[in-house]
Structure 1
């Protein structure tokens, strides 16, 4: 399939990147980073999640963060919501889009939501009905979509079953998440193609983690299958707190640089993104993982060496 010439990248560092940091990020620091992110040209930013403070203490200031950040016109502010209470908080905080949390497998779901997958989806009915009476948009997600650390490969029939239930709720915007970095280009191709053929009216996006160094190859595979929306996190921060050995999302600077080098527009300011990523790397060096912060852009040329002699002369 021919490459699309333009993609949309959603920055998720303020939620996915910060949620697993071992130290608390001060609220004012979050606001500072988010405001700088919003100046980079992103059309959508995942700002926070409205989970219970005891479950994810890092997100306990979600309401305050959304109250104090700037709100550029035309930028969608997205937040994760686990239940009806979370949606109510998101509505009060004037979130534009709420993303539902769901695991593809029962094992991961029991760790993540304390319920099996289809049991967890039963609570979505109330959320969907409440959202219908507001301006907020709902999106769905399927975590460990390309492999579960407890159950292995997820059958395509499981994805179809989940998507059918989302469709019954009127939710057709679905994020496919490689939560533990078990995907490869072929599995991305197989699942993406199957779901796009089975649900042609759905809008699928990819949420990729770089646990095994496959994330950019997986992004290109998804692009080949017609997926044009991708999540990423500055400096490669992030990881699922309910998955063993999980590492961060693909670094935003790596994803933007890779696509732009291929002639695919992201409409983002890469230099501004790198500046923010460097700040995050300096503050959280043990949690960052970015090729671009190590090697620089391909266009960053160096002075040619002089005065060297060949060995053996």
Structure 2
């Protein structure tokens, strides 16, 4: 018998991780309206943007304007990704509730994504984390390519644990383990998480699955059975990594919600509002979102 949690926290990353790889530029006012709609879905956490150099991710060049213009709710954590101290300055100026730092478990992906080796990344992130905490913000970490790298293939668990140890030692509150290119399978998730949970409390671990090969929900099920209750996802299955060739969208928030609620696991999310928000985004992107939920909704309309 599986031992499943009674409640799960779904962390919406669509406005950042979802939009960052979209070629269709979304107007600032539409991003603001979409995030405001997401705030009505029952989510308790929304990652709204990234304070990176606009030349790297033009889609998120309006980070400060978006962050300052959304209608915030007191029971929602509004977060942003920051690459360095300059990014942190922007996030603090925009009064983000939480900042997130990121790096990879594989050298080549880290070089492509951050333009630094793993060892050279630590001195950049350490002050960001500590200054963020000193400013009264919670700080989250992302480690990418945990289950496989587009350039190196398999990534050793030792590399994953070494990066994790460093980030936790700097003071992060939570670490999100990313299946950046969607190669993980349930057995692999079990093996990696078993080792991770020997070192770190399950309450401080989140999983960030991509659905490139259709295994994201199966991987979630394994993580649930091991006691994980924090999951990143993007509405409609939006997104992918600009530095991970072949990576398709994130695990879809709407599909994850459907599965969890059907299993009697509380999420706090409202299905009607999720679908309404996803339809708004489809209109602004000018394309259909790939989630199974949205495919089903479209078939209802066509029939």
TM-score > 0.5 by shorter chain: yes
Matched residue, 2:292: 291
Unaligned runs of 5+ in 1: 304-313
Matched residue, 2:42: 41
Matched residue, 2:156: 155
Alignment of structure 1 residues 219-298 onto 2, 5 Å: 219-284=220-285, 286=287, 288-296=289-297
How far off its partner does 1:233 sit? 0.8
Matched residue, 1:185: 186
Provide the C-alpha distance between the structure 1 equivalents of 2:181 and 2:268, rounded to a whole number of angstroms.
28
Deviates more, 1:201-210 or 1:82-91: 201-210
What is the TM-score normalised by the length of structure 2? 0.94
Structure 2 CA distance for partners of 1:285 and 1:215, relative to 1, 3 Å = farther
Instruction: Give the number of equivalent residue pairs.
Output: 299
Matched residue, 1:130: 131
Residues 8, 230 of structure 1: 8 Å contact kept: yes
Q: Does 1:103 align with 2:108?
A: no
Q: Does 1:119 align with 2:120?
A: yes
SS in 2 for 1:19: helix
SS in 1 for 2:206: strand
Matched residue, 2:219: 218
Provide the C-alpha distance between the structure 1 equivalents of 2:288 and 2:21, rounded to a whole number of angstroms.
9
How far off its partner does 1:276 sit? 1.3
Provide the C-alpha distance between the structure 2 equivalents of 1:255 and 1:148, rounded to a whole number of angstroms.
24
SS in 2 for 1:18: helix
Provide the C-alpha distance between the structure 1 equivalents of 2:118 and 2:134, rounded to a whole number of angstroms.
26
What is the TM-score normalised by the length of structure 1? 0.92
How far off its partner does 1:282 sit? 3.6
How far off its partner does 1:281 sit? 2.6
Structure 2 CA distance for partners of 1:272 and 1:92, relative to 1, 3 Å = same
Structure 2 CA distance for partners of 1:224 and 1:202, relative to 1, 3 Å = closer
SS in 2 for 1:6: coil
Residues 172, 202 of structure 1: 8 Å contact kept: no
Q: Does 1:24 align with 2:21?
A: no
Rg larger in structure: 1
Unaligned runs of 5+ in 2: none
Residues 21, 287 of structure 1: 8 Å contact kept: no
Residues 133, 139 of structure 2: 8 Å contact kept: no
Deviates more, 1:166-175 or 1:81-90: 166-175
How far off its partner does 1:279 sit? 2.4
Structure 2 CA distance for partners of 1:285 and 1:194, relative to 1, 3 Å = farther
Provide the C-alpha distance between the structure 2 equivalents of 1:18 and 1:39, rounded to a whole number of angstroms.
19
Residues 13, 234 of structure 1: 8 Å contact kept: yes
SS in 1 for 2:150: coil
Q: Deviations over 1:271-311 (max 9, x none)?
A: 110111122234435562110112249xx9xx9xxxxxxxx
Provide the C-alpha distance between the structure 2 equivalents of 1:124 and 1:89, rounded to a whole number of angstroms.
15
Provide the C-alpha distance between the structure 1 equivalents of 2:288 and 2:124, rounded to a whole number of angstroms.
34
